[in-house]
Structure 1
Amino acid sequence: MRYLARSAAGRPVVGDDGGFVPLSAAYPDAGSVRDALAHATDGLRGVDSLPAARTAWEAESFGPFLGDPGKLFGIGLNYADHAADLSEAPPDEPASFFKPATAATGPGGPVRLPPTAESERVTAEAELAVVVGRTCRNVDESEVDDVIAGFAPVIDMTAEDVLQRNPRFLTRAKSYDTFLVLGPRLAVPEPDADDSLDDVEVRTVVNDTVESRNTVANMHFSPRELVAFHSRVMTLEPGDVISTGTPGAHPVEPGDSVRAEVDRVGSVSADVVR
């Protein structure tokens, strides 16, 4: 994989598993990660060929890979096991919803729980997110790789007791500030890589205990299907993020630490506070 990222101070970089260089070394016309997303759809330039010294990832602190995300989609009940856990039948079509941009936060969080008067049961959910790199409409699934910039780990949060009171409260249950933790790096497949992601495992980890896990192959709708489907509903734009559903949610309390782990893509963690 190659990566796009932003330092905690907002400086955009491009890199690989061995480290990173300033984004401007690869794309002088790109002043931000969002500017580079269209380049990512074709595969990023190799770091070894760039006129800049490589820096180790550990030498820098990183914020969310996008400082200005576009539309934020969530997908419900996209793993059969998760639907069964909730005693719900899997939907025949993607069960999608929106989260506001103000719900997004970055690595470390913290995730801030709402007052107990509003919600006493909040769950954390690890997910694989797919990020759009080009403006598109009515994309065929066979051509969807031409508009995908890459993939990232995210933590989705739900005020579950709010949702249980009435399913029409979904937007509120999902939209509290900090209720979507974006990972530190956007993973971009190597140019011409045949990467189905089917064997990628997604894990929800709370306080270093794996609470749920499943593989992308067990999704009802694959990441590529989700991009194609939503492009038939609306115009997708660079920086739109589709969280593809969770293998399982776990309740969290102040003092907990939550982590989303996605094989070959990366991980992101956040502390929980009230």
Structure 2
Amino acid sequence: MRFLTFSHAGKESWGVITDEGIIDLGNLIGSSLLETLQNDKLDDMKKLANGLEVDYQPADVKFLPPITNPGKIACVGVNYANRNAEYKDGSDDPEYPSLFLRTPDSFTGHDKPLIRPPESHKLDYEGEIVIIIGKEGRRIKEEDAYDHIAGLTIMNEGTLRDWVRHAKFNVTQGKNFIESGAIGPWMTTADEFTAEQFENMRITTHVNGEIRQDDTTASMMFPFKYIISYFSKFFHLKPGDVIATGTPNGAGARFEPPRYLAPGDVVEINVEGVGTLVNGVKDEAL
């Protein structure tokens, strides 16, 4: 089932999206998708939604990130083996995953523009599969990791390439410009996938209809279950936490010359079994 967060007539709500339209659970029972996960009520909400008529069509609402105020947005860097090779620095595959954090306001929702700031015109796309945690845990074993996934969504992990090199030891600045990235359009629940699908799931990125990224999770150096287990050694993973699992090769910075995003561009990121996240690009209004 697909759960989403949205606004309608200026009011934030949440619910389920089906082929027929959107069921507004927020208007019916209040709460939020985050609180639903925190209270372990996702299965109850699936049963409730199965008996309800739709309230809106997708065109009637504005999509928001499925979890608008997560406790953590943890992002894995350079997780696809062929992307490590793309750096052309002769380095071996890493022993452990790279990690950086992003803030909620660095993201917008589906069908909204990514914002290019005046400080840089090197805005780049990164298509990523995102895990949303549904069950808390510390020191989670890899064999138990999938039990902690509430569902999957999609991220355009928009990055200002020159700003990730402003300091010696981090990339945080270039990863956190306001609304430079996007998450959505919804969370597809984990019961829609098998373990085999988690481990061989295709992701593609198109820019203005041209394919730029195309790979599967089989290429990951650190698969979902390893990431969850590793992160839970130092994080207390909690329901609603967001984990971005890395991007394949083909980002704009890797072309010669680089192919950064500009106003009017449209980026479409598709994840097999999840959906398609679509965003335009515009300059920040000053």
> Normalising to structure 1: TM-score of the pair?
0.87
Do 1:107 and 1:268's aligned partners in 2 also have CA atoms closer than 8 Å? yes
Q: Per the alignment, in what secondary structure is the counterpart of residue 139 of structure 1? A: coil
Query: How far off is 1:192 after superposition?
Result: 8.8
Whether the 8 Å contact between 2:136 and 2:237 is mirrored in structure 1 is yes
| 1:14–1:22 Cα contact (<8 Å) kept | yes
Runs of 4+ residues deviating >6 angstroms: none
Match of 2:5 in 1: 6
**Alpha-carbon separation, structure 2, partners of 1:23 and 1:48:** 8
Deviation at 1:198, TM superposition (A): 2.6
Q: Are the counterparts in 2 of residues 162 and 169 from structure 1 also a CA contact under 8 Å?
A: no
Hey, what does 1:225 align to over in structure 2?
A: 226
The more displaced of 92-101 and 79-88 is 79-88
User: CA-to-partner distance for each residue in 1:108-151, whole Å, 9 max, x for gaps?
Assistant: 23211122xx3232211110000112322111111122221100
Cα deviation, residue 164, structure 1:
4.1
Structure-1 separation of matches of 2:122 and 2:66 = 29
How many residue pairs get aligned? The number is 268
Alignment match, 2:33? 33
TM-superposed deviation, 1:16: 4.4
Report the Cα distance in structure 2 between the residues aligned to 1:260 and 1:42, rounded to whole angstroms.
Answer: 28
The aligned residue for residue 257 of structure 2 is: none
CA contact (8 A) 1:132 1:148 kept: yes
Identify which range, 134-143 or 226-235, moves more after superposition: 134-143
Q: Which residue of 2 aligns with 1:254?
A: 263
Matched with 2:142 is 141
C-alpha separation in 2, matches of 1:156 and 1:54: 31
Query: Counterpart of 2:121 in 1: which secondary structure?
Result: coil
Shift of 1:211: 0.6
**Identity across aligned pairs (percent)?**
26
**Residues 105 and 49 of structure 1: CA distance in aligned 2, closer, same or farther (over 3 Å):** closer
Offset at residue 268 of structure 1 (A): 0.9
Residue aligning to 2:128 = 127
Provide, for residues 196-235 of structure 1, a one-character-per-residue CA deviation record: whole Å limited to 9, x for no partner. 3233211121111111110011111112221111011111
The match for 2:241 is 240
Structure 2 residue ranges without an equivalent (≥5): 253-259
Does the 8 A contact of 2:203 with 2:214 survive in 1?
Answer: yes
Whether 2:24 is the aligned partner of 1:22: answer yes
1:179 partnered with 2:191: no
**Post-superposition CA distance 1:149-172 (Å, at most 9, x none):** 100011001111223455534000
Deviates more, 1:106-115 or 1:125-134: 106-115
> SS of the counterpart of 2:159?
strand
Q: 1:199 to 1:41 in 2, by over 3 A?
A: farther
In 2, the alpha carbon distance for the partners of 1:45 and 1:140 equals: 28
What code does the residue aligned with 2:174 have?
A
> 2:95 aligned to 88, 92, 100, which one?
92
Q: Distance in 2 between matches of 1:140 and 1:43?
A: 27
1:144 aligned counterpart, secondary structure: helix
Of residues 206-215 and 37-46 in structure 1, the stretch that sits farther from structure 2 once superposed is 37-46
Q: What is the alpha-carbon distance in structure 2 between the residues aligned to residue 48 and residue 183 of structure 1?
A: 20
Paired AA for residue 15 in structure 2: V
Partner of 1:160: 161
Aligned match of 1:112: 115
Q: Distance in 1 between matches of 2:43 and 2:170?
A: 40
1:7 partner SS: strand
How far did residue 195 of structure 1 move?
5.1
Which residue of structure 2 lines up, in the alignment, with residue 65 of structure 1?
66
The amino acid across from 1:244 in the alignment is T
Q: CA deviation at 1:49?
A: 4.1
SS in 2 for 1:34: helix
Question: Structure 1 regions of 5+ residues with no counterpart?
Answer: none
Change (3 A) 1:22 1:197: same
**RMSD of aligned alpha carbons:** 2.6
Aligned AA for 1:236? L
TM-score by length of 2: 0.83
